[in-house]
Structure 1
């Protein structure tokens, strides 16, 4: 099974944002990758971003989820499905408990952004089904730019996965 055939489309009129975060411990960087597709699998946007952040994989993944949520909001999407391979982030967003750690505060920001969306859901997906977002994160760690957003487009190095 290839990653593109394993990707499941969101319901009609919904958009799916797959997100991932990757850590570069040596350089204290987090790479973030997001790809947003419609129910037909057409790419609405892609994002590669890197930020300086002390080594904390959960926090890096939470920041990636926040970037995905912000991107969807900036695109004006009102019906979204968020999908990432960080189970702790997915569970934290689904959970109503407050957490005052740095991780919890980022999750709170995700929830705040989602409160402005009409209909949303967040799901865990295995890494092998989140390949495109993962490749975008790895690429983000090598970029000199802080952030690159492509609208209705994607970098050529993921073409074969779509």
Structure 2
């Protein structure tokens, strides 16, 4: 009986098919970030995409990182790098989305953080103060496909790359698909 009571009180996550990217409300832009991680090589790849209310790409990037100990750390670092990128491009109102729930929870939490990624969470929160408004939100994997595509591209490249009002073709295709899902025929 106790198990049934707990199970019925838990919020069940949406199925993957129900999750799509949603545009920010103007004047905000949306920064999506994601990371890939290789434990044996202690490497990660961060992917970022910034889009406006029409879903148009305003900036995209990927970065390679060394000495990374976990996927948890890789995702937090991807968020920090994405925030720096958005600040460098001069955006002032931003919604930041990632698909690693624990990282987003830590970014939203006001309690003391004693986790291994504490310095990165503190960096992200300090960077958030550079914006007029900055909000962190969790999005399911299907709502984060463009950032995932950017991180995957970073894995295959040997250097960091940045685009302004453009992106590699695989990211552009994923962004076009997101726009089609928003406006079905």
Q: Normalising by the residue count of structure 2, what TM-score does the alignment of the two structures yield?
A: 0.81
2:40 is equivalent to residue 32 of structure 1: no
Q: 1:89 aligns with which of 88, 100, 103?
A: 103
Unaligned residue ranges in structure 1 (runs of 5+)? none
Larger Rg belongs to: 2
Provide the aligned C-alpha RMSD in A: 1.6
Q: 1:152 aligns with which of 148, 162, 165?
A: 165
2:174 is equivalent to residue 161 of structure 1: yes
Unaligned residue ranges in structure 2 (runs of 5+)? 1-16, 176-185
Q: Normalising by the residue count of structure 1, what TM-score does the alignment of the two structures yield?
A: 0.91
Q: Is the CA contact (8 Å cut-off) linking 2:22 and 2:143 kept in structure 1?
A: no
2:3 is equivalent to residue 17 of structure 1: no
2:105 is equivalent to residue 105 of structure 1: no
CA-CA distance at 1:149 after TM superposition: 0.6
Q: 2:135 aligns with which of 121, 131, 134?
A: 121
CA-CA distance at 1:97 after TM superposition: 2.2
Q: Distance in 1 between matches of 2:171 and 2:130?
A: 31
Size of the alignment, in residue pairs?
A: 158
Larger CA deviation: 119-128 vs 22-31: 22-31
1:41-73 per-position Cα deviation (integer Å, ceiling 9, x unaligned)? 111100111110233111110000101111111
Q: 1:69 aligns with which of 83, 87, 95?
A: 83
Q: Distance in 2 between matches of 1:80 and 1:53?
A: 29
Q: Whose strand fraction is larger, Structure 1's or Structure 2's?
A: 1
